[in-house]
Structure 1
Amino acid sequence: MFFLLDMERIVTLPPQHFGSGLRDVLHKQLVREVEGTCSGKHGYIVSVTKITDSGKGRVQVGTGKATFHMKYQCVAFRPFKGEVLDCVVTQITKLGFFADAGPFAIFVSSSLIPDDYEFTSGDQGPCFTSGDQDVAIVRNCEVRVKVVGIRVDATEIFGIGTIKEDYLGVLGGPDMS
């Protein structure tokens, strides 16, 4: 799920950036440091949307660098148990498949795939094929997955998913548009 968060961070700038473009440099530095990062509490920071306060800089004694207490708004992606996500399959093994929903990696075990799907390793590479050979889970296909478990680390969030419920499973193949 996506959230709009109010956050704070201390940004340090060296003296060569002091001048008329200081606020632009501060904004770019904040974006560089924050966007794309992950914290267990807030999830993945997708984008800085607005800087609400850049504060007054304080010059550090001895280094000449200035620190700014920045307050900003950002969009964060934080997956939850029970959430349904559209993902892209990245890897398939006999034990299941891995899929990505943006930066969030999900593993779907073969026990959480419908019973009529079988693992095969044919000309197209490894895949799970339905009993009637009508639907196949192959690399780069889109699947709809329900998150059944989440492991949160300091810099990463990993999930376990299922496609064994109604309205879950393959949405489209890699060659479909």
Structure 2
Amino acid sequence: MFFLRELTHLVSLQPSQFTHDVEEQLRRRLHAEVEGSFSGRFGYVISVVDVVSIGAGLVLPAQGAAQYQLTYRAIVFKPYKGEVLNAIVSQVNQQGFMAEVGPVNVFVSRYLLPKQFKFNPSGVISCWSDDMDNRIERGAKVRLRIQGTQTYPTKIDAIGSIKEDYLGLI
């Protein structure tokens, strides 16, 4: 799910970057450093919406650089249990398939697929298919429900299911 969060970040400026518009330099550095980054507590920072405040600069001894604390609002993405998401299948094997929801990898086990799907390892492209020739293969779009998440210091992984009504191939 997407959330609007107020976060803080420390930005350092070297003496060569002290120009007449320090605030603009700080805003650019903030966007470059935090957009696309991951925080285990808040999730993936998708976009910085605006800067709420810029703290007073603190000169770092023996370096000459200044460090500023910026408070900003950002859109963050962190999936939660029970959420329904659209995903793109990235890998298929006899244990199930992996799908990507933006930066999050979701594994759907064969036990969390509808019973009519059977693994078909024919030829170069492996897939899960049913009697009506619906195929879950690499690149297919699926709608899934998050069954659980695991947060690591640098990423989030999840387990998903397509075994309910209105879930599955899109």
TM-score category of the 2 structures, normalised to the smaller one: over 0.9
> How far did 1:21 drift?
2.9
Where do 1:129-168 residues align within 5 Å?
129-133=129-133, 135-168=134-167
Letter in 2 for 1:130: D
Q: List per-residue Cα deviations over 1:15-46 (Å, max 9, x = no partner).
A: 10001132222111111211111122101110
2:17 is equivalent to residue 17 of structure 1: yes
Q: Which residue of 2 aligns with 1:79?
A: 79
Q: Over the residues paired in the alignment, what is the CA RMSD in angstroms?
A: 1.1
Please state how far the C-alpha of 1:123 moved relative to its aligned partner: 4.3
Question: After the TM superposition, which of the residue ranges 159-168 and 120-129 deviates more from structure 2?
Answer: 120-129
Aligned-pair CA distance for 1:154: 1.5
Aligned residues: 170
Following the alignment from structure 1 to structure 2, what is the Cα–Cα distance between the partners of residues 40 and 62? 33
Distance 2:124 2:83 in 1: 31
SS across alignment from 2:47: strand
Q: Among the aligned pairs, what percent are the same residue?
A: 37
Quick one: which amino acid aligns to residue 137 of structure 1? I
SS at match of 1:125: coil
Distance 2:129 2:48 in 1: 42
How far 1:56 moved relative to its partner?
1.8
User: Which residue does the alignment assign to 1:126?
Assistant: 126
Shift of 1:108: 0.2
TM-score of the superposed pair, with normalisation by structure 2: 0.96
Partner of residue 175, structure 1 = none
Structure-2 residue corresponding to 1:114:
114
Question: In the alignment, residue 21 of structure 2 is paired with which amino acid?
Answer: G
Structure 1 length-normalised TM: 0.93
Q: Shift of the alpha carbon at 1:124?
A: 5.7
Structure 1 unaligned segments of length 5 or more: list them: 172-177
1:52 aligns with 2:52: yes
- Give the match for residue 174 of structure 1: none
Deviations 1:108-155 (A, max 9, x none): 00111111101112246010001232x110111100010001101111
